[in-house]
Amino acid sequence: VPGDVVILETGNIVPADGRVLQSINMRVDEAALTGESEPVDKDDKLVFETDRPLGDRRNMVYSGTIVNYGRGEFMVTETGMETELGNIATLIQNVEEEKTPLQQRLDRLGKVLAYAALGLVAVVVVLGLLRGEADIEELLLTAVSLAVAAVPEALTAVVTISLSLGAQRMLKRQALIRELPAVETLGSVTVICSDKTGTLTLNRMTVTAVDIANHAFNFVQTPDETSLVLEPVENTDVTPGTMPTIDLLLIAGALCNDASLVEPETGDGYRVVGDPTEGALVLAAAQIGLDKNALDSAFPRVAEAPFDSVRKRMTTLHSVPKNESDMPASLLPVWQRRTVANPPPYLAFTKGAIDGLLDIAANVWVDGELQPFDDAWRTRLLTAHDQMAAKGMRVLGVGVRGWDRQPVETTDAALESELTLVGLFGMIDPPRPEVTDAVADCRTAGIRAVMITG
């Protein structure tokens, strides 16, 4: 009911449109409404003096969207068909159906035949009268019979059968036709306009590249999408410290993270609960063999500095296993190939925008050793960031800091200092596997494919 105050938490579906009253790092997935795969940060302090496009109203939440991160409260302003989602449904229901070219031609043919039949009736009657036919009733009956005979009653059946045969042939080519007249329309198509998110892409953020000091790798999905294969980028040298560093990068990404993977009831893959970007990090770690549940058990979180839009980063503090017996069996290979024999008892992991991490960095992790962070490393990391961004990737940096004892003060200022940079993640919402061939087929057929997105 308008005026109600609703509490939102991570994973909730927004039940109505409303004004945000409180936002504690709340991010909302509005892909169902706007088509944008990136979650939107909500801010209760924003006040707009002029009307803004739907995607820019960061002080509002909308029915049907999903809270991916944080929590908050909002006051209901619209419900039911008065919501933005309801307005879209109304527009769809009120669309006037236009007749296809074939239907228009059949309508014209029907009118021509009707006029011709009436003309034939008139001609027969006139000629009969001129010949002196006295029986007007028989004359009219003859004229009407000729008019009826001139109408092709089987035309409707012939057209329906022809369209049905066309639909069957197209179904064999993986094109399902629900309305028979569309068979003729589809054959006249010269341009296809398609949405991007969820139509051309998977609507699932995926880690496709990582960059650690002096090493760049592409993450390639195996055909069954259950694991990842690391492929070194050209001129990248693989050293004994490479895999342990990638382990550290993935562990940091999975632990400094509030997303989780849930196995659906159908058993088909996993569903991400939480922020899509964080979900991509958890999934990448899982596909390398680093299960988040096992990591959370081995490295319990003891403190955190939540993400906010000003710092553009998040930090979590974890206790570290003392020896091999404290590690879950699935993580033993990672423990055994570590390059630091005696890790510190506590580790703070930080992830976020690279420009903010560079400001608090003191060292760089290079093949299991610390190197001082200087201007040369700054240039190297910014170049790697720009190369990923130029490929359309969303880039996140990751850093770590060891603590000999649990810090008394766990504010972001205390935890986020003297950081050791580990590497970068590059993520995209990848295209569907069949999209490339589909677009190529369209071009071969003389059809231009156009992507429409916000």
Any idea which residues carry the catalytic annotation?
A: 195
Cα separation, 275 vs 67, in Å, equals 8
The residues facing 263 across adjacent strands are none
Token pair recorded at residue 52: 């803004």
Pairing relationship of beta strands 361-366 and 419-428 according to DSSP bridges: parallel
Task: Please report, as a single letter, which amino acid is at residue 299.
Answer: F
Distance of CA 56 to the CA centre of its chain: 18
Give the Å distances, CA to CA, from 356 to 17, 220, 312, 352, 397: 34, 29, 7, 7, 9
Distance CA 291, CA 56 (A): 36
What is d(CA 272, CA 429) in angstroms, rounded to the nearest whole number?
Answer: 14
Distance in angstroms (rounded) separating the CA atoms of residues 187 and 183: 6
DSSP secondary structure, 238-282, as one string = P-TTHHHHHHHHHHHHHHS---EEE--TT-SS-EEES-HHHHHHH
**SS3 for 289?**
coil
Q: Under the phi-then-psi rule, with left for phi > 0, alpha for psi from -120 to 50, and beta for the rest, what region is 132? A: left
Structure tokens at 38: 């990136």
56 SS3 class: helix
Residue 235 CA to residue 239 CA, distance in Å, equals 13
| Two tokens, residue 146 | 């000729």
Q: Which of 29, 34, 61, 6 is nearest to 259 (CA)?
A: 29
